[in-house]
Amino acid sequence: MPAWRAVGFDLDDTLYPERAFVLSGFAAAAEWLEGETGTAAQETLAQLTALFEAGVRGDTFDRWLRSQQLPVAAYRQGMIHAYRNHKPRLSPFADVPPALERLRVDCRLGLATEGARAVQEAKLEAIGVRDRFDAVIILGEEERSQWKPNPWPLTRLAEALGISPKELVYVGDNPQKDFEAARRAGMTSVRLRRSQGLHAGEEPATLDAAPDAEVADMNGLISWLTGERTAA
């Protein structure tokens, strides 16, 4: 009998490369700004990308605007709007579609993620795998207090799949939130540490934030699940 009845997934850097979305959003913001100020979009994109590669997060547009001596208050919101509302061109990691098809043979599949709801919806639409999932939970900004590491998104996912938390394995990439949320929800967790992931070099801060297992790709995940099932 299978050890697990369902597998749940995170979205960003688990099913597709998050860096691709960030750069796509930067391009949209740069194009918007060019229309407002005449600033060359390609130069803006290159400079925003350099900030991102240097590890800047959260205030990238503010920093860039100040560096260009442009008023932050005048342009920040327009750049954020362009970033969040552009239609991204994304592809899933190559191992994702075949792995999801393989897993669907034996398991129910779910997805739980959080962020600006329209942004997360656009990402999921762009990578073209939504129909592989039996349940999708997206917590928007109005539910920020319940984002992972709060267990609520994963508890909701188990309920939507019609199973108990202990019957679900949650797969994510971020040691700051994914695995603590799973542990608090009563689930097994697996870290999918892709070498190009934004959190690939990070380690869990505490034992509670550590995953129960770690794999490098979806093939490794299937092997791990298969091994667990065989052992069970």
- Residue 119 domain-assigned? yes
Give the gyration radius of the chain's Cα atoms. Answer: 19
pLDDT of residue 229: 46
**End residue of a domain, out of 61, 85, 109:** 85
Cα separation, 158 vs 135, whole angstroms: 9
Confidence band for 230, pLDDT divided at 50, 70 and 90: very low
pLDDT of residue 3: 72
Helix orientation angle between 60-67 and 72-85, rounded to the nearest 10 degrees: 140
Count the domains in the chain: 2
pLDDT tens string 140-191: 999 999 999 999 999 999 999 999 999 999 999 999 999 999 999 999 999 9
- Residue 1 domain-assigned? no
pLDDT tens string 45-67: 999 999 999 999 999 999 999 99
- Looking at residue 94, which CATH number applies to its domain? 3.40.50.1000
pLDDT tens string 98-122: 999 999 999 999 999 999 999 999 9
pLDDT tens string 179-229: 999 999 999 999 999 999 999 999 999 999 999 999 999 999 999 998 854
Q: Which residues are bridge partners to 6 per DSSP?
A: 108, 168
Give yes or no: residues 63 and 117 share one domain: no
Q: Which domain holds residue 142?
A: 6-17+90-231
Cα separation, 218 vs 93, whole angstroms: 9
For 172, residues 6+ apart whose C-beta sits below 8 A from its C-beta are: 9, 10, 14, 178, 179, 182, 189, 190, 191, 192, 211
Give yes or no: residues 75 and 143 share one domain: no
**End residue of a domain, out of 64, 85, 106:** 85
pLDDT at residue 232 is higher than 80: no
Tell me the whole-structure pTM to 2 decimals: 0.91
